[in-house]
Structure 1
Amino acid sequence: MIFGPTPLEEAKGAILAHSLRLPGKVLKKGSVLDEAAVAALREAGRREVVTARLEAGDVPEDEAADRLATALTAAHIARSRAATGRVNLLAETAGLLVLDERRINAINAVDESLTVATLPNHTMVTAKEMIATIKVIPFAVPGKVLAVAEAVARGGAGPAFAIHPFRPLKVGLVLTELPGIKESVMEGAVEATGARLAALQGTLLPVERVRHEEGAVAEALGRLRRSGAEILLIAGASAVVDRRDVGPAAIVRAGGSIEHFGMPVDPGNLLCLGRIGEIPALVLPGCARSPKLNGFDWVLQRLFAGLKVTAKDVMAMGVGGLLKEIETRPLPREQAPRTPPPLLAPRRPRTVAAIVLAAGRSRRMAPLNKLLVADSQGTPMVARVVDNVLASHARPVIVVTGHERDRVEEALSGRPVLFAHAEGYAEGLSASLKAGLAALPPEAEGFLVCLGDMPLVSGAMLDRLIAAFDPEEGRAIVMPTFRGKQGNPMLWSREFLAEMASITGDVGARHLVGKHADRMVEVEMADDAVLRDFDTTEAMKALPPSGRGG
């Protein structure tokens, strides 16, 4: 690839290295310069432009990212469409992410042009959660380099990425009792264990409560095996301190064996790993009575994912195994089984609000207010729009009222929305927009601006826009398109609030797109809903039946 200043006579077909603003036109970074673009540059007085020009054998960034993603995709893993040299890999089901770390490191060592970033190995993931991103750094990759990376990606005994779905296992729990043990302690152990199992799609069999004696525990283990237990757990009234203690000895007495005692994870040091036949049998550390994250969680996750846990596996958990709360490194462990640890906080979805503009006077359909005209199912158009927005991940949903405020609010009665009244709605669209912006919560990183007369835009479409929103990646404005035509609604980063506040008259914020074209991304939709508004009685009659929420 040839990179650098290029005379305009040689620029046709080259890739623009940096966004350029020309009179009445913006050329975006990464676009291929055609005759019209070269002519616009020449008219602007430029004689050269910084470009990347592909050489024989070079593979464009999107194609390269797509090919590497193909080599890495396996069962239970989905992928996004290549864009700006990036493809994201996503889990199709809840489970445990298992990585071939050596192979991924080898791919990243092939060449600086290719990168693969992943979640940590053995991370619990949910359906649709991103597990990795493939990013091609330059505009193109030499074909020979890409071929080597593809060979490395496919070169192992199994896939480099694997999602092991959680299995709905039956689990037996033995609680041992000693005189003086509080009932609340026993109940807490059952509650914490049940919550862990539910999160992994497991079922807790009726609990066996017995004396803290080897024989009684062994007999309880036998009863649970006969009841169909696929994992056996022992929560002792007294912490296990040796592999010959009551809990481990009961496993041996019941016909099993002890594979390992202790683990390099704190809390969780005193976990004992055993087996009765093919059934894993564990003596739990005292910390397992708490819902806080501990080493037992890591072992349990692997077992539910169908992975055999050996002594070697347990001994390899030390790096990253310091989970204990200390003053200088607080960790909300009581929430850990349900939420990812702080180091994974960036994985949370972006906080996006929605503003539904429903303040207009509906001049073209006067004297009717088009937003209140009901469809064949008796649902006012504004209610259909709001229902679709509520079906998306956007929160909160703010409805801007103006003309016939009381009637619009009545039409939306019972729906979980916030109302913002535009006192100056007669001044035009800008007044409604400002009223909605003023109601945005400070935590909203972005906001959808939805029009009250576009009832065919579904919640799924809005979620596609939200998924594409990433200001740090340069996607601060997200615009839907259909067959190349730009539509609505648009999603904006809050970085544009100040500019929007200065808009006046009967106009929205769309003109800001040209000013910030290098911060905008287009998302192609499967149908023309993002282009269709309903301004006349005839159009309303053609409105298809609603599918609440879309």
Structure 2
Amino acid sequence: MKKIKTVDAIGHILCHDITKIIPGEFKGVAFKKGHIVKKEDIEVLLSLGKDHLYVWEKNEDMVHENDGAIFLKDLTAGENLDFSDIKEGKIDFISNKYGLLKIDVDTLLELNMIDDIMLSTLHNNFIVNKGTKVAGTRVIPLLIDKNKLTEAKNIVGNKKIVNVVEFKPKKVGIVTTGNEVFYKRIVDKFGPVIKEKVEKFGCEVIGQAICKDDTIMIKNAIEDFINQGAELICCTGGMSVDPDDVTPTAIKESGASIITYGSPILPGAMFLLAYKGDIPIMGIPGCAMYNKTTVFDVILPRVLVDEKLTKKDIAMYGHGGLCMNCDICTYPACNFAKV
């Protein structure tokens, strides 16, 4: 810290707040600690009786908090993001699309192990709207050592920690199975639920096939929808382990590769995910009919950003995959199924 003449202070950083007092009208901070003095500030500072100022001594090895925050923003921010104005070394990241938030969690942890900087985000795989604040970065001290920023760059490299991936609506075929529905003994309640949920993401349902508990009939329905241009197949019914629940067998016999039959998500343990080429096929358990939020709500958004999920991706939901069945559901703004 050093004392200099105010008229010589342009470009220097204030070490302390400077108060402005107008008797009977105002008393508060006119210039905050950390403010970089500009040419137009000089006259104002002199009018406040400040012929001298205490400023930080310039050091080429130190970076001002605002410049450091801009560096971190540029280093870590990926696609479909807007940003707040910088304030006291802090910048907010704001989604400019309706999409899925993708966070490089491992690199985020490494970055936050560096002293004097931070990056805070919403959970990975969080559904966000345009205007949602998804992250914020800040430099902790007023001045930061350049070496800390170099360390951050070495960790992050060309990776971007925070991205919003816009949803890619798909053509959806619904295959509903069950003798009770096929023979019209009961009214199907699955189709409307699936239709409502996929249309929320802009998807188009190109049809619903009602099949009896017959492997060949179900397999043919899946293949027919694919031939019609379906980009996602949702199979409902027949997903339990009863002898007449043949939907998983039919999906396998369609030539699809089974990624998982079963998930550590409740509700949704009997979920099936398969791919026929790049086309996802989901076997959706009965809970989706009567639970507001299930495994289907968790996996669908990831499918709609063209993420090809693995067994490990599904297994990771075991930690946090238990829904609390709250009286008022706030998903995705809750702890359910965050990885």
TM-score normalised by the chain length of structure 2 = 0.83
CA contact (8 A) 1:60 1:140 kept: yes
Taking the aligned partners of 2:236 and 2:187, their CA distance within structure 1 comes to 9
CA contact (8 A) 1:172 1:224 kept: yes
Aligned counterpart for 1:29 among listed residues 29, 32, 52: 32
Identity of aligned pairs, percent?
23
Taking the aligned partners of 1:109 and 1:173, their CA distance within structure 2 comes to 47
1:39, CA displacement in angstroms? 7.0
> SS of the counterpart of 1:255?
coil
CA-atom RMSD in angstroms: 3.2
> SS of the counterpart of 2:288?
helix
Alignment correspondent of 2:14: 15
Taking the aligned partners of 1:282 and 1:206, their CA distance within structure 2 comes to 16
Alignment correspondent of 2:172: 171
Aligned counterpart for 1:103 among listed residues 92, 95, 107: 107
Q: How does 1:20-419 map to 2 (within 5 A)?
A: 20-23=19-22, 26=28, 27-30=30-33, 31-32=35-36, 37=45, 40=48, 55-111=59-115, 113-155=116-158, 158-179=159-180, 186-236=187-237, 238-241=238-241, 245-290=245-290, 292-325=292-325, 330=326, 332-333=328-329, 336=331, 340-342=332-334
CA contact (8 A) 2:239 2:283 kept: no
Seen in structure 2, the aligned counterparts of structure 1 residues 17 and 166 have a Cα distance that, compared at 3 Å, is same
Seen in structure 2, the aligned counterparts of structure 1 residues 122 and 180 have a Cα distance that, compared at 3 Å, is closer
Alignment correspondent of 1:390: none
- Structure holding more helix per residue: 1
Taking the aligned partners of 1:53 and 1:320, their CA distance within structure 2 comes to 50
CA contact (8 A) 2:213 2:245 kept: no
Residue segments in structure 1 that go unaligned for 5+ positions in a row: 345-550
CA contact (8 A) 1:63 1:82 kept: no
CA contact (8 A) 1:242 1:261 kept: no
Taking the aligned partners of 1:312 and 1:145, their CA distance within structure 2 comes to 34
1:182, CA displacement in angstroms? 11
Deviations 1:473-521, CA, capped at 9 Å, x for gaps: xxxxxxxxxxxxxxxxxxxxxxxxxxxxxxxxxxxxxxxxxxxxxxxxx
Seen in structure 2, the aligned counterparts of structure 1 residues 153 and 8 have a Cα distance that, compared at 3 Å, is same
Moved over 6 A (4+): 6-11, 180-185
Which residue identity is paired with 2:73?
A: A
> SS of the counterpart of 2:210?
strand
Which residue identity is paired with 1:260?
A: T
Deviations 1:205-243, CA, capped at 9 Å, x for gaps: 21001112222211211211111111111101x442289
Seen in structure 2, the aligned counterparts of structure 1 residues 42 and 341 have a Cα distance that, compared at 3 Å, is closer
Deviations 1:174-202, CA, capped at 9 Å, x for gaps: 11123389979754311211121112221
CA contact (8 A) 2:211 2:217 kept: yes
Taking the aligned partners of 1:290 and 1:138, their CA distance within structure 2 comes to 52
Taking the aligned partners of 1:81 and 1:263, their CA distance within structure 2 comes to 43
Residue segments in structure 2 that go unaligned for 5+ positions in a row: none
> SS of the counterpart of 2:323?
coil
CA contact (8 A) 2:172 2:207 kept: no
1:84, CA displacement in angstroms? 2.0
Which residue identity is paired with 1:20?
A: T
Taking the aligned partners of 1:48 and 1:279, their CA distance within structure 2 comes to 67
CA contact (8 A) 1:73 1:79 kept: no
1:248, CA displacement in angstroms? 0.8
Alignment correspondent of 1:425: none
> SS of the counterpart of 1:195?
helix
1:126, CA displacement in angstroms? 1.9
Seen in structure 2, the aligned counterparts of structure 1 residues 143 and 223 have a Cα distance that, compared at 3 Å, is same
Seen in structure 2, the aligned counterparts of structure 1 residues 58 and 271 have a Cα distance that, compared at 3 Å, is same
1:166, CA displacement in angstroms? 1.1
> SS of the counterpart of 2:230?
coil
Taking the aligned partners of 1:231 and 1:223, their CA distance within structure 2 comes to 12
Seen in structure 2, the aligned counterparts of structure 1 residues 208 and 58 have a Cα distance that, compared at 3 Å, is same
> SS of the counterpart of 1:289?
helix
Select the structure with the greater relative contact order (CA < 8 A; seq sep ≥ 6): 2
1:137, CA displacement in angstroms? 1.9
Which residue identity is paired with 2:206?
A: L
Seen in structure 2, the aligned counterparts of structure 1 residues 184 and 79 have a Cα distance that, compared at 3 Å, is farther
Bigger radius of gyration: 1
Taking the aligned partners of 2:50 and 2:119, their CA distance within structure 1 comes to 39
Which residue identity is paired with 1:175?
A: T
Taking the aligned partners of 1:77 and 1:137, their CA distance within structure 2 comes to 23
Taking the aligned partners of 1:240 and 1:276, their CA distance within structure 2 comes to 22
TM-score normalised by the chain length of structure 1 = 0.53
Taking the aligned partners of 2:210 and 2:156, their CA distance within structure 1 comes to 51
